[in-house]
Structure 1
């Protein structure tokens, strides 16, 4: 899924009496950005192992399948975050703050969506077919989307935010709100948070049905989402630097979405695919995509 962003053209005048930081360029890459923090991954593994000891191998397999799914589907999401940060020229020193607010909002929204989804699936079994159709369509879009420069014009999300949020043309340190001409206005940093939140909502429409295709347990769905979301900041650092090297990862994600969609259809008609088999297929597909990408890069 590719988000097309509208060019940021806001004509609010700058207040002479208050020093506002002009839109800066993205800071050059620093060595520290290449150091990927792994505590979140270790915590997820420990949680999954503990879940296995408590509730059995089946629940642990469901958790790890959901976690790996969420992490893989986050790749497209984070690639869009990279584009959003570049588009709004957000300095690197402020990006972690924006991501922190985005992650907090994502946790609240996804919990709400998961609870509603679980209740709906329990009451209306045929909803599985709708979710399967969403996943199959998403898979098709991943295979049919053409590579190349992203068109950053006429995005509904950005245009809507610009319409309803009065925004300055400049940053004021790391503030979300500032004063210009005795009027309170949002800075581009707040607009960036809003666009990231709404973009994550759009991506959740794909990712949450995918995890429901692996397990119906809302606790497993939410916990796998939670651990994946908590690792977004670390994953963002990796993706922002290495996305262009993983050209076969997107088709692999498309294969995974197509598989989960077909699995949900088969489950509806009484043909069950085990969680262990699903976990193995997801892991193998993503691994093949990464390995092929690295092999192609080395040639």
Structure 2
């Protein structure tokens, strides 16, 4: 019992155990039930599964409210909604990555599941590092706040430039230092293929593994925005981590619905820009204009939800009569060109790759 009540990063250990047990159950459900067969998930199934994950996340917030109070629960919900909204941009990037590597929809879910598992670890490391910095020097929060304001302003004026996955440094590095097949081998990340010179079986990565690597690198880039944003809301490590992970857990479910209609959320980025500026500004407002008093958590949640809701509503209204190809047509065309032009292999596998048929998997 002493172990369960022991303090771990400012929260009793049993809170963490409950959370990790919930994550383990949801992951086992994904891998053991939903992902037993490789098949494409329809929009209807995607929306239902996403609603299930959102329901779990909201119920988890109710549990926090009952066990740790309303203030932390409101902070959890604020972080969850911000991360969920930011993940819409993440979905667009993931769809470009899958398109560039020509990954069929029926294999995408498996890559997303394993990508989420990696994210759980990587986000944990980033959040632990951020928590240690804030604990040692409170002024780091001012750096986070200034970064969020600058990022929001930059996001507001930035254009919609497609991601050039073919020139990704990680892809080039992997292609130079290990064998990579030029074609997919169903859902496998690695296969054994005959060596071009010796004929012996050697281990080779597949394009699905490259896509998985790039997806996780892209998430690290997005974490640079989302992690400081949640720290600007609360410095409670448990709330920071759980709000991030609960939003990300449902990302794979939401992906298949939103990737088909991502063009409908074109104007959401302006709302997200306003959210980042607001979250960053409220730290300075609380410390310098409110004499160090806490910015009301419920007001912060209300403003955040209103901005995100307005961004989604305005986007759906403005794009209501547009076809999917209307936006971002140039982005999608450019990525399809990478795949269909004289050799997607040459742009994605700069160091060359094995093209032999796999003998063992």
Question: Structure 2 length as normaliser, TM-score?
Answer: 0.71
213, 216, 222: which one aligns with 2:235: 216
Deviations 1:227-247 (A, max 9, x none): 111111122122201110112
2:235 is the alignment partner of 1:203: no
Question: In the alignment, which residue of structure 1 is the partner of 2:62?
Answer: 49
2:189 is the alignment partner of 1:167: no
The CA deviation at 1:95 is 0.5
Whole-angstrom CA distance in 2 between matches of 1:192 and 1:99: 10
Deviations 1:268-288 (A, max 9, x none): 543642111110111000111
- The correspondence of residues 133-172 of structure 1 with structure 2, limited to 5 A, is 133-147=146-160, 149-152=162-165, 154-172=167-185
Name which structure has the greater RCO, CA cutoff 8 Å, separation 6+.
1
- The correspondence of residues 191-270 of structure 1 with structure 2, limited to 5 A, is 191-269=210-288, 270=292
Structure 1 runs (4+) greater than 6 angstroms displaced: none
Segments of structure 2 that go 5 or more residues without pairing to the other structure are 1-38, 195-200, 322-361
The CA deviation at 1:158 is 3.2
Whole-angstrom CA distance in 1 between matches of 2:302 and 2:272: 14
CA contact (8 A) 1:129 1:268 kept: no
- Three-state SS of the structure 1 residue aligned to 2:295 is coil
CA contact (8 A) 2:42 2:256 kept: no
Whole-angstrom CA distance in 1 between matches of 2:154 and 2:84: 19
Question: Structure 1 length as normaliser, TM-score?
Answer: 0.85
Whole-angstrom CA distance in 2 between matches of 1:39 and 1:291: 22
Question: In the alignment, which residue of structure 2 is the partner of 1:280?
Answer: 302
- Three-state SS of the structure 2 residue aligned to 1:241 is coil
* CA shift in 2, pair 1:29/1:58, >3 Å: closer
Segments of structure 1 that go 5 or more residues without pairing to the other structure are 1-26
Whole-angstrom CA distance in 2 between matches of 1:31 and 1:132: 37
Whole-angstrom CA distance in 2 between matches of 1:127 and 1:260: 15
The CA deviation at 1:129 is 1.8
* CA shift in 2, pair 1:250/1:179, >3 Å: same
* CA shift in 2, pair 1:58/1:246, >3 Å: same
114, 120, 126: which one aligns with 2:127: 114
